[in-house]
């Protein structure tokens, strides 16, 4: 590994500081699987005041519950950006979408995408954007000049959400904790690391799109020096035990140098999503590994508690699993979306 | 983390299969610090039959000991590629180098580079290469189409070298083990993951230049299905305990799914190189963490032994530290460069 790059010392650059064109219209394509519409649901739940409605192709079988609008209607209601609110297998935009996206550009909307493939590399879209004087905004393109991580301790406090797997509530946990602590009067910034989080926050770092040598450096950029009582709540990614994405998780952990972390888990999930036969780690495994590896950049790292995603459980079952887990782990456990006293106790633990 | 990419199933693509233009002339620039000339020394040590000599600017204070040649002389002796054999701080090529590189292109040499910055993006070089009909070869550019890792178990055997830090002998250990096992008659392939290794092997995967989401997938591509008794010896990168590069190390570990690993260490090194105050992990720490995290993709992973870089020690001191470490760890320990019975015992352990 070369050591021949300049390291960041006291970076204050705010990545993704280009403002995103909102209010948004949420594009659902022809998606039939709600699991692929995470971005649209995330924006509805966390940036509803900036979403005028949704747009779907005839075959779509997913809805956010927001008004279904045509492009001209959406523009009349103030929309400035069409957000691609769905992922699709392979990350390639199908032709049926492109025709609709061309119409959106013609109607006066910019397009905002969080896919790995870039909008501007689709010739028909590039031509249409150029013709209509509109922007194609790829939030998953990292900023230039990301340095190799320095490992230098930064001022201020940091909390990172980590997980037993992907797609089980790390973003929602971070957003919930940030919002609730802000309500309590604390100085808190939500730090987005994924496309949906970036669209919600309006800024952030698409950490999984950064070249591997610079992942920890990108996490350092994302969460710069801050006043001693300020808390960055950093959106976690993947899992240290994920067969494909653990590299992202570890670089984010080292660069974030969190004082505290919250383990996110979905009760009942037994295998890594999309990897049958690959057993989920236990919450205890994640606490142990995160603490051990996190000490490389913050010797004082510790687990604040556990966030459970109990969306598929009854209120009674959710309470039971929350209480059981708290007793077993010996730390505060809550479902932030359910709130309540359990969440208050978790929030109490989310400050140094 | 999106799960919307195609995963590799039985990839047989050989990345970096474009043959590199050798024999090489080794370019040393105006380097004064031997630590920056790792690539030149690596090629001298492991691909000497493909190196006709070295070229240095007047202020250079580093030498490989190979004949110092002008460009025309080198071409006359059969050289086809000028290899940039030195790293430089910041990864930016200084103007003084560019003038010399233009002369090399004019003399009929292609240029081979392993830096993060791309040769073709330097306008003067691109113009000169075009003018003289020569190639600019960036070995640190990953191939297109790297998939997200599947986690699928592949056939054949794999050994990965891992480290307590960067730059202490993971590549030399892998090359030594691969060469010695081949001499013993085993079917072995050295799998290069860094620029120098790729120039030595003529193929490989520049793993630290891969986008973070795809690092494990790139490692899967590098080491495809093979006959049951074939061994891939995979060059390790960084360290799980490195504040900047651990993401690369973990993605490489998961994607390599090694059956065996060899821990590489330099006795006497106390801090991570370039990170004063950041303590080196112990060999025991590295064995424990590599085993624990490696189980995600290979439940049978185990440590074969330890490779010590004793280049700075006397023969007597080296033997003492090798014996002490072996007694303490309870596994074969050797300096592959010194060889001997200790290395024979380590090789015995490098097969399942």
Instruction: Identify the pLDDT of residue B3.
Output: 24
Instruction: Identify the pLDDT of residue B15.
Output: 38
What CA–CA distances, in Å, run from A51 to A55, A68, A103, B340?
A: 11, 11, 19, 70
Q: Is the pLDDT of residue A12 over 90?
A: no
**B6–A166 CB contact, under 8 Å:** no
Helix, strand, coil % (nearest 5) of chain A?
40, 15, 45
Task: Give the pLDDT band (50/70/90) at residue A150.
Answer: very high
b/e sequence B237-255, b meaning 16+ C-beta within 10 Å:
bbbbbbbbbbbbbbbbbbb
Q: What is the pTM of this model?
A: 0.91
Q: What is the mean pLDDT of chain B?
A: 92
Residues A73, A61: Cα–Cα separation, whole Å: 21
Instruction: Identify the pLDDT of residue B90.
Output: 65
Residues B47, B25: Cα–Cα separation, whole Å: 12
Q: Cβ distance A124 to A102 under 8 Å? A: yes
Task: Give the pLDDT band (50/70/90) at residue B91.
Answer: low
Out of A2-16, A285-299, A314-328, B103-117, pick the least confident.
Answer: A2-16
CA distance A121 to chain B (A): 15
% of residues, chain A, pLDDT over 90? 87
Fold of A157-348: Rossmann fold (3.40.50)
- Domain boundaries, given as residue ranges, for chain B: 24-138, 157-348
Q: Is the pLDDT of residue B152 over 90?
A: yes
> Which two tokens mark A87?
């992922």
pLDDT digits (tens, 9 = 90+) for A112-138: 999 878 899 999 999 999 999 999 999
Chain B positions in Cβ-Cβ contact with residue A90 (cut-off 8 Å) = 4-6
Instruction: Identify the pLDDT of residue B36.
Output: 87
Instruction: Identify the pLDDT of residue B93.
Output: 83
Residues A171, A237: Cα–Cα separation, whole Å: 8
Chain A positions in Cβ-Cβ contact with residue B296 (cut-off 8 Å) = 241-243, 246, 278
Which residue of chain B has the CA closest to A237?
B1
> Which residue's structure tokens are 């003067």?
B124
Instruction: Identify the pLDDT of residue A15.
Output: 38
CATH number (3.20.20.70, 3.40.50.620, 3.40.50.410, 3.40.50.720) of A24-138 reads: 3.40.50.720
**Concatenated DSSP letters for A213-265?**
GGHHHHHHHHS----TT-EEEEPP-S-TT-TTTHHHHHHHHHHH--SEEEEEE
The ipTM value here is: 0.89
> Which residue's structure tokens are 């780690």?
A281
Which residue of chain B has the CA closest to A212?
B212
Which of B166, B207, B278 is facing A3, going by the closest CB pair?
B166
Question: One fold for both B24-138 and B157-348?
Answer: yes
> Which residue's structure tokens are 């024999």?
B23
Task: Give the pLDDT band (50/70/90) at residue B115.
Answer: confident
Q: Is the pLDDT of residue A17 over 60?
A: no
**B89–A4 CB contact, under 8 Å:** yes
Instruction: Identify the pLDDT of residue B19.
Output: 76
* Of A318, A317, A313, A312, residue with least CA distance to A339: A318
C-beta contacts of B14-17 below 8 A and 24+ residues apart: B14/B203, B14/B224, B15/B142, B15/B143, B15/B203, B15/B204, B15/B205, B15/B218, B15/B221, B15/B222, B16/B139, B16/B143, B16/B198, B16/B202, B16/B203, B16/B204, B16/B205, B16/B206, B17/B203
Q: Cβ distance B250 to A247 under 8 Å? A: yes
Task: Give the pLDDT band (50/70/90) at residue A92.
Answer: confident
Q: Is the pLDDT of residue A16 over 70?
A: no
Q: What is the mean pLDDT of chain A?
A: 92
């Amino acid at each position: 590994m070369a050591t021949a790059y300049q390291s960041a010392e006291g970076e204050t650059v705010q990545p993704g500081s280009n403002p995103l064109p909102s209010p948004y219209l949420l594009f659902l394509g022809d998606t039939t699987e709600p699991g692929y519409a995470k971005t649209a649901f995330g924006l509805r739940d966390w940036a509803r005041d900036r979403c005028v409605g949704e747009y779907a192709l005839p075959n779509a079988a997913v809805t956010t519950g927001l008004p279904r609008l045509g492009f001209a209607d959406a523009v009349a209601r103030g929309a400035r950006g069409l957000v691609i609110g769905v992922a699709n297998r392979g990350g390639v935009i199908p032709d049926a979408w492109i025709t609709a996206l061309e119409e959106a550009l013609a109607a006066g909307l910019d397009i905002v995408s969080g896919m790995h493939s870039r909008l501007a590399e689709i010739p028909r879209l590039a031509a249409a954007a150029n013709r209509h004087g509109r922007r194609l905004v790829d939030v998953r393109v990292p900023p230039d000049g990301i340095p190799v991580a320095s490992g230098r301790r930064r001022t201020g406090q940091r909390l990172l959400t980590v997980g037993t797997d992907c797609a089980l509530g790390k973003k929602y946990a971070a957003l919930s904790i940030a919002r609730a602590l802000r309500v309590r009067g604390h100085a808190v910034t939500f730090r987005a690391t994924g496309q949906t989080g970036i669209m919600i926050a309006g800024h952030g770092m698409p950490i999984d799109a950064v070249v591997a040598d610079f992942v920890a450096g990108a996490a350092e950029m994302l969460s710069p020096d801050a006043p001693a009582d300020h808390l960055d709540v950093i959106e976690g990614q993947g899992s240290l035990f994920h067969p494909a994405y653990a590299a992202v998780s570890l670089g984010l952990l080292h660069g974030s140098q969190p004082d505290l972390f919250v383990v996110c888990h979905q009760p009942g999930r037994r295998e890594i999503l999309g990897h049958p036969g690959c057993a989920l780690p236990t919450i205890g495994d994640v606490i142990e590994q995160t603490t051990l590896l996190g000490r490389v950049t913050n010797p004082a790292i510790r687990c604040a508690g556990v966030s459970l995603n109990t969306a598929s459980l009854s209120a009674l079952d959710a309470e039971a699993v929350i209480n059981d887990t708290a007793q077993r782990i010996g730390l505060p456990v809550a479902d932030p979306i359910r709130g309540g006293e359990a969440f208050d106790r978790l929030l109490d633990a989310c400050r140094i």
